[in-house]
Structure 1
Amino acid sequence: MRFGKIDYLNLAPFDVFIKSYPMTSGFKKFLQSKKSYPSRLNKDFLFKRIDAGFISSIAGYQSSLKHKVTLSGIISKGSVWSVFVIPNPQSEDYQSATSNALCKVLDLKGEVLIGDRALRYRYNGGEHIDMGKLWYQKQHLPFVFGRLCFNAYGDLYKHISRKFNHKKTKIPYYILTQYEKKTKIPRAYILEYLKHIYYKIGPKERLGLKRFYRQLLFKKIKKPSRF
């Protein structure tokens, strides 16, 4: 069972949860070795080098059509604090296909910046447009940045999703300290950031995804594929 993990703070609660979940040592060893940024995991997932993971919404489109998805995602309802357009020359962020597409959907110009780098940029007072906030202002719906999708072992990952969605995970102090050292972002700021993200996909989140996919079609934005 090969699970790919996004190595960002936004999945810190899931990281703590899955470490305590009763899985084989092989699963947990692979989990720690297969950590990367979203667009890299998209490729691994599309080429079936991993069985499951939190995949960028734009790359999870085919999985949603095939019902190979769970009800867990990476979601914001308004400001997300880590997906920005910043006032630099137009450029995409190589780490996230979904955020690059969202920038086009929102008709924004500038440099796309995501993840822990974006959060640190915000903490340091950098000028930015929060794409989660702008999406909500325009659509009045949450935005699902990524979704737990699977190529295999669907029953297992649906069970993990249900357990995760219904459990309030507290991040231990020592892990917060590790994150602080790694990202150069204070613990208190990390905890405040995580209040802007939630993980359970319900009717409004599904509608938000449908709205996003429709915009991709209208604007002729290509989705990642194997070919």
Structure 2
Amino acid sequence: MKFAKIDFINLLPVTVYMKKNIKSNQLKAIIEYKKSYPSAINKKFKKRSVESAFISSIASRGEKSLDYGIIARDEVTSVLLVPGVYSKDFQSDTSNALAKVLDLQGQVIIGDKALKFFHENDKNSFIDLAKAWQDKYNLPFVFARLSYNKNGKLLRKTMKNFNKRHIKIPQYILEKYEKRSGISKKNILEYLTKIDYDIGIKEKLALKLFFKLTKEKGIK
């Protein structure tokens, strides 16, 4: 199974879980090798150079997906918009579309760099896009979905016991991401409490609405 992972802090619980539960060293190596940012992974998935991945929600339309994703039910702190002239984040697809759906103008910032920006800047200087969506539609926002084009049964088996509440991030991994991102271990752990992964009824309603709104605006 060729699996690609988004190499952001928001997927640390999934990364730790998969490393612990996947027995094949070869598969572990593939997962570690096939890592990148969302928009790049979307392209690899569409070209079928990877078989499964958390891909941007907007890229998941028409794809087979499990009921797992990257979900914010209130503020997310890692998907921000700095008001001004519209400027997309090249690493993103869904968040760029979300800003347009919400009719917000400014610079979109996602991922670990956005989380660092959140902690280093005045909270009145940016808009949290997940919170803006929640305030407008009273629904969670699904930024990515776990999709597959091959080996779905193996992926389902691998993920069947995943529960973020049972995952403890080892200190050495926290230290690695702290050093790489410039975000403290305390803030990393606090941030991860804002992220959920299980797609239920409300999340499916949110996806349906997001797809409808993007279609109306001609966003692909």
Tell me the TM-score normalised to structure 1 length: 0.93
CA–CA distance in structure 1, aligned partners of residues 135 and 163 of structure 2:
26
1:162-177 equivalence runs, <5 A: 162-165=160-163, 168-177=166-175
The alignment status of 1:90 with 2:94, answered yes or no, reads: no
Distance 1:168 1:72 in 2: 16
Q: How many equivalent residue pairs?
A: 218
Structure 1 position 166, deviation (Å): 7.0
Counterpart in 2 of 1:17? 17
Counterpart in 2 of 1:3? 3
Q: Secondary structure at the match of 1:75?
A: strand
Match of 1:133 in 2: 131
Contact 2:13 / 2:164 at 8 angstroms: preserved in 1? no
Which residue of 2 is the match for residue 77 of structure 1? Answer: 73
CA distance in 2, matches of 1:10, 1:180: 13
For residues 88-129 of structure 1, the C-alpha deviation after alignment (integer angstroms, 9 at most, x for no partner) is 432101101100000000000000000000000011125210
Provide the rounded CA distance (Å) in 1 between the counterparts of 2:158 and 2:204. 19
Deviation of residue 164 (structure 1)?
1.4
Runs of 4 or more consecutive aligned structure 1 residues displaced over 6 Å after TM superposition: none
> Percent identity over the alignment?
46
8 Å Cα contact 1:82-1:119 kept in structure 2: yes
Cα deviations by residue, 1:158-195 (Å, 9 ceiling, x for unpaired): 22232214762111112111111111110001111111
Pick the aligned partner of 2:115 from 99, 103, 119.
119
Structure 2 residue aligned with 1:225? none
- State whether structure 2 residue 43 is matched by structure 1 residue 43: yes
Correspondence for 2:157 among 156, 159, 162: 159
Q: Secondary structure at the match of 1:163?
A: coil
Q: Per the alignment, in what secondary structure is the counterpart of residue 67 of structure 2?
A: strand
Where does the alignment leave 5 or more consecutive residues of structure 1 unmatched?
A: 223-227
Contact 1:71–1:161 (CA under 8 A) maintained in structure 2: no
Tell me what 1:210 maps to. Answer: 208
Q: Tell me the equivalent position of 1:26.
A: 26
Alignment RMSD, CA only? 1.2
Instruction: Name the aligned partner's letter for residue 71 of structure 1.
Output: D
**CA contact 2:22–2:28 (8 Å) conserved in 1:** no
Contact persistence 1:38–1:55 (CA under 8 A): yes
Counterparts of 1:166 and 1:94 in 2: how far apart (Å)?
29
Q: Which letter does structure 1 place at the counterpart of 2:101?
A: V
Q: What TM-score, normalized to structure 2? A: 0.96
Conserved 8 A contact 1:70-1:161: no
| Equivalent AA in structure 1 for residue 120 of structure 2 | N
Give 1:78 shift: 1.1
What is the alpha-carbon distance in structure 2 between the residues aligned to residue 153 and residue 62 of structure 1? 17
Query: Which consecutive residues of structure 2, in runs of 5 or more, have no partner in the other structure?
Result: none
With over 3 angstroms needed to count, the CA separation of the structure-2 counterparts of 1:109 and 1:184, relative to structure 1, is same
Q: Answer yes or no: is 1:110 the counterpart of 2:101.
A: no
